[in-house]
Structure 1
Amino acid sequence: MVGPVVAERLHDALQRLFGREAPVRIHAWDGSIAGPLDAPAVRVHSRRALRRLLWRPDELGLVRAYVAGEVDVDGDLLDALERLAPFGRSIGRRPDLTPADRSELLRTAVLLGAVGPHPKPPPEEISGAERRHSIVRDKTLSGAHDGPLGAALRAQVFGSTLVHSSAYWTDPAGTLDDAQRAGLDLACRKLGLTEPGPAGADGARVLDVGCGWGSFLLYAAEHYGVTGVGITLAADQVELATKRAVDAGLADRVEFRLADWHELDDGPYDAIIASGLAEYVGSARLAEYARTLRGLLRPGGRALLHQVSQRGGDEVVPERSFIDAYVFPGAEILTLGTIVDTFERAGLEIRDLESFREHYARTLRSWVANLEAGWDSCTWQLSPGRARVWHLYLAVSALAFELARISVHQLVAVRTHGDGRSDFPPTRTSWTLPVSPE
């Protein structure tokens, strides 16, 4: 039987695995405690957590233990992750262990009763087979893993607007819903949408690629009189977006389809909005994607691309990451330069580029707070493991944007006329004037 020294041995094991002292205060299953007094408290409930790290001594091993509930973090998760961020940079890959390190780790595992077969990953992890054969159908908490109870959860986390991308924080004291409406209105103005003309003339015809629950098209139809089509690969999104259109009296103006971007052939559109698709299209098909969007635009038509990008020159960790294994399998985050260059080569002129990095960080923090406020409901609807996945994902993402490890931009592009005309105003005034959406 092991005495009350488990925490000290775990602390030493982490130091050997990751090459530096772990800045955490470990509370072990035997009641022992080790680590700096002012460090975030990490509770290790089971020997299985150590076994996972022995078999997979990297980010994925730690995440598996957390998702399975074998490891917990006391207090505010965002605060703890912020304090652990420098340490986190060293655990993305498997460590290069010396023979002495391996021998001591094995000895620790034997003493703590943690030796055994490789534990199965938590059921929330997306297997290799699922990753190879699946199409990314959703980027939010309404995915196939979440079951039919997601409606209340969506409103709990994303607010009444049900916008699942970055808000636009024009008022420091504003609410998430205020900021999301400001972002929707800004997008409409960047696309050059205007009120319908006299005698009931129709407004612009708009395509929303990756429309989510229909929030942008519904806003644009109500406030700017557009007609349009939204496409998504999530059937539940089509169902809810269509219901929202009916409830708002806009079903004769907007249509939502279960379709992919390369399946469309009903252009031209006056404007296209696409949020976060490039990382799923990937570098191999990005040029085809860009040419397709251009082909769907009329001459003079605008495209608004809302896109996450990695910082140029940042080192890419070769091991499978938490995001790939649990959230967005197969996603490829490209550099901003690659995205701009590819769309320019496809014949779309980039006319404006705006960073939304700080806006997205604040939006993610709001989603984290909303998830935590409804934690009991979320764990009931999702399962404790799935709730942990989304809690960790939103928190890690907020920090990644705050620390400038990744960024997000809005790009406005135009398909110019044959004679080079863009139909753009000479200044940004038309979309930078402060607007208070109703």
Structure 2
Amino acid sequence: MTTFKSEPSTGVRPADDKLPLAKIVETVTGGDMPVRFTAYDNSAAGPKDSPYALHLTSPKGATYIATAPGDLGMARAYISGELEIEGAHPGNPYAVLAALGDLHFERPPARVLAQIARSLGTELLRPIAPPPQEHLPRWRRIAEGFRHSKNRDAEVIHHHYDVSNAFYEHVLGPSMTYTCALFDSEGQSLEDAQENKYRLIFEKLRLQPGDRLLDIGCGWGGMVRFAARRGVKALGVTLSREQAEWAQHAIEKEGLADLAEVRHSDYRDVTETGFDAISSIGLTEHIGVGNYPAYFQLLHDKLRVGGLLLNHCITRPHNRGRMKAGGFIDRYVFPDGELTGSGRIITEAQNVGFEVVHEENLRQHYAYTLAGWCENLEKNWDACVAEVGEGTARLWGLYMAGSRLGFERNIVQLHHVLGVKLGPDQRPQVPLRPWWVA
């Protein structure tokens, strides 16, 4: 995705005449457009022989980009249909995003910036309402409660996950699993890789028939049903009502109701304790780094002595700097989401008493997973558009393709952290060596 940097540029000398849109784009991107750019004013920039092109179709799109420079403005224009991508399918724009490479916006000198403003005119520089898929900015979410309060968490989860179960079925495939899969090889099917992920987590947690599993942020209940099929009594909780209803129906359809349950509930409201294992697969990204101590303490309290926690979450490749998501992700994908490095996660787990016995990075696997989801979206494009509208379908293609690039370029990672609850005597609770099949 694009970023905005405050770097000088001397690509345009001030003049009285208006600059064409393509010239403005060249100026604010440092004059090195890696793909063709064309605009509704018949101006063009970038290599003529590029297999990919961006076409700005209307003044509305120019307003989106001018009033929110960087990835947020570009996303607004694209999702609303005012910026078209040529050379790639909207369900899978990965090739275009990859071709754009490290494109970034530069802030021109004041004289050039003034000329650009005159060229655009006050009408184009007047902010307009964003596409309806966009969530409120952070400062306006206070009406939903304080950051990571139960009410506000429920609202932002609703924003992302209660899109349409039918839409998710088209994108995720039969597994209805919206987390990183585990691939034995690059060519393995997405469905087999998702089953393999559940198998790995099940084995890491040393689950046996008759054990009790708590799966927090359980989604459509994939882990819950995997465990129940193997004789484990599994409870899943999710803040998405649509997920909970879909999962409970799937449980009943498989005849697993005696062993499995998915509740529409905040994980903080689970009253049961003494679980043999807890799986947290894709929840930690939503809880806020400042809440890690309380999060891990609650999970520690829910386990019996010797019980295991598997924490599966997206991370940054370092433990410093900004934790909040950028504009596009925060407003369109995961409002209030925060990421940090695996070191911070391990530290916080250790601080409440977990003995961390293993961690691993699966970032390459998430790139393959996202590629599979994009392929599904492209293949089922017409059905997805019919279900949620073209703007939302475009949003998902952009988000998943961009995320794939993020994992490939080591901007983000995916870590498993495995911890065990010790007793007062601190005696070891697990075998000497790893007991699962990698």
Aligned to 2:39: 28
In the TM superposition, what whole-angstrom CA distance separates every residue of 1:23-45 from its partner, at most 9, and x where no partner exists?
Answer: 22112225554311243200111
Give 1:114 deviation, angstroms: 5.8
User: Could you tell me which of 64, 73, 94 is aligned with 1:61?
Assistant: 73
Distance across 2 between alignment mates of 1:188 and 1:409: 16
User: Could you tell me which of 168, 171, 175 is aligned with 2:189?
Assistant: 175
Distance across 1 between alignment mates of 2:319 and 2:417: 21
User: Could you tell me which of 102, 121, 129 is aligned with 2:113?
Assistant: 102
Aligned to 2:364: 358
Give 1:142 deviation, angstroms: 6.8
2:102 alignment partner AA = P
2:214 alignment partner AA = L
Distance across 2 between alignment mates of 1:281 and 1:415: 21
Aligned to 1:159: 173
The equivalences for 1:353-392 within 5 A come to 353-392=359-398
Aligned to 1:37: 48
Gaps of 5+ in 1: 1-7, 197-202, 434-438
Gaps of 5+ in 2: 1-18, 145-151
Distance across 2 between alignment mates of 1:432 and 1:126: 42
1:432 alignment partner AA = V
Aligned-residue identity in percent: 32
The equivalences for 1:13-412 within 5 A come to 13-39=24-50, 40-76=52-88, 77-87=93-103, 90-91=104-105, 95-110=106-121, 115=124, 117-128=126-137, 131-132=141-142, 133=144, 134-136=152-154, 143-144=161-162, 146=163, 150-194=164-208, 196=209, 203-222=210-229, 224-312=230-318, 316=322, 321-412=327-418
Distance across 2 between alignment mates of 1:165 and 1:141: 17
Distance across 2 between alignment mates of 1:343 and 1:169: 27
Distance across 2 between alignment mates of 1:328 and 1:319: 8
1:122 alignment partner AA = P
Give 1:59 deviation, angstroms: 1.9
2:281 alignment partner AA = S
1:119 alignment partner AA = I
Distance across 1 between alignment mates of 2:100 and 2:305: 50
Query: 1:47·1:114 contact (CA, 8 Å) conserved in 2?
Result: no
1:230 alignment partner AA = G
Task: Give the match's secondary structure for 2:288.
Answer: helix
Taking a change above 3 Å as real, the CA distance of residues 52 and 249 of structure 1, as seen in their structure-2 partners, is same
Distance across 1 between alignment mates of 2:124 and 2:294: 50
Task: Give the match's secondary structure for 1:339.
Answer: helix
Query: 2:79·2:131 contact (CA, 8 Å) conserved in 1?
Result: yes
Task: Give the match's secondary structure for 1:162.
Answer: coil
1:115 alignment partner AA = L
State the TM-score, normalizing by the size of structure 2: 0.87
2:21 alignment partner AA = L
Aligned to 1:436: none
Query: 1:272·1:303 contact (CA, 8 Å) conserved in 2?
Result: yes
Distance across 1 between alignment mates of 2:111 and 2:124: 18
Greater CA drift, 225-234 or 12-21 = 12-21
1:329 alignment partner AA = P
Paired residues, number: 407
In the TM superposition, what whole-angstrom CA distance separates every residue of 1:37-94 from its partner, at most 9, and x where no partner exists?
Answer: 243200111122222222222221111111111001112310111121311xx34xxx
Query: 2:37·2:53 contact (CA, 8 Å) conserved in 1?
Result: yes
Query: 1:138·1:233 contact (CA, 8 Å) conserved in 2?
Result: no
2:94 alignment partner AA = L
Task: Give the match's secondary structure for 2:418.
Answer: strand
Give 1:258 deviation, angstroms: 1.6
Give 1:317 deviation, angstroms: 9.4
Task: Give the match's secondary structure for 1:167.
Answer: coil
Give 1:377 deviation, angstroms: 1.1
Give 1:219 deviation, angstroms: 0.8
2:183 alignment partner AA = W
Distance across 1 between alignment mates of 2:433 and 2:156: 36
State the TM-score, normalizing by the size of structure 1: 0.87
Distance across 2 between alignment mates of 1:116 and 1:392: 25
Query: 2:179·2:281 contact (CA, 8 Å) conserved in 1?
Result: yes
Taking a change above 3 Å as real, the CA distance of residues 130 and 103 of structure 1, as seen in their structure-2 partners, is closer
Greater CA drift, 290-299 or 97-106 = 97-106
Task: Give the match's secondary structure for 1:230.
Answer: strand
